[in-house]
Amino acid sequence: FTGNYVGKEGIAAINIGLPIVYLYLGLGLMISVGGSVIAGIMLGAAEKKKCNSVFNQTIATTVIISVLLS
**Over the stretch 49-66, which tens digit does the pLDDT of each residue have?**
999 999 999 999 999 999
**Per-residue pLDDT at 47:** 93
Taking the model in full, what pTM does it have? 0.70
Helix (H) or strand (E) holding 58: helix 48-69
Task: Give CA separation, 8 vs 11, 17, 21, in Å.
Answer: 5, 14, 20
How far apart are the C-alpha atoms of 2 and 66, rounded to whole Å? Answer: 29
pLDDT at 26 over 90: yes
Q: Which position has the higher pLDDT, 57 or 1?
A: 57
Q: What confidence category does residue 8 fall into, taking pLDDT thresholds of 50, 70 and 90?
A: confident
How far apart are the C-alpha atoms of 36 and 18, rounded to whole Å? Answer: 27
CA atoms within 13 A on the CB side of 18: 6
**Per-residue pLDDT at 6:** 82
